[in-house]
Amino acid sequence: MPIFLCLLNCSFPVWAPNPAKITQVSASPTQTQATHLKSLIREIQNWPKPGINFYDITTLLKDKSGFSETINALQAQYKNHPIDIVVGIEARGYFFAPAMAHAFGAGFVPVRKPKKLPHKVNSVEYALEYGTDTLEMHADAILPGQNVLIVDDVLATGGTAAAVAQLVQMAQGTVAGLAFVIELEFLNGRAKLPGFEVYSLLQY
């Protein structure tokens, strides 16, 4: 089966999820809307190497109506949630998270790879299939009790998203949800996000 490269080898750190959040959301846009948005995402076979099926979202981003529709649909899912901060995951989460923050009237916080942030940071090391990786967030980026929405382009194995949820909890923030534009269901990333509200706009 062709697979998507991004996050493929990630697993997740061992940690306890916030027990206050227990919903796994599986709502989806209308069939017409989903078909339209998927038509704007370019699929590239065998890139960047044979056997990889790559979903290129740059073709969605450049379409002004499609990009707006994506942000509006993601925002609608969380319209009844009090969102104080939207966290974006490096790198393609940055395409969507700031727009989501603007839509909610919330702040935006980037999560980055090591040695990219200039001030004191919290770090989470998480397991990959062959080794580990690390993500960092400024220690003062989130205040205790703030409601945080985590946004990324793709939910694949769930390891990176789980690490970011841990960073939010280390800052004593509340994970209001995790939102993704695309979910690769055959990789079962939701299984690594137990106890959290998880939403994906498009499923493959």
**Residues classed as catalytic:** 92, 129
Which is nearest to 154 in space by CA: 128, 178, 192, 183? 183
CB 75 within 8 A of CB 181: no
Q: How far apart are CA 37 and CA 49, in angstroms?
A: 25
Residue 45 in tokens: 């076979």
Q: How far apart are CA 162 and CA 14, in angstroms?
A: 9
Place of tokens 């009790």: 145
Place of tokens 């960047």: 48
Beta strand spans in the chain (E): 42-45, 53-56, 85-89, 107-111, 121-128, 131-138, 147-155, 174-183, 198-203
Q: Is the peptide bond before 48 cis (omega within 30 degrees of 0)?
A: yes
Determine how β-strand 198-203 pairs with β-strand 174-183. Answer: parallel
Single-letter residue type at 16: A
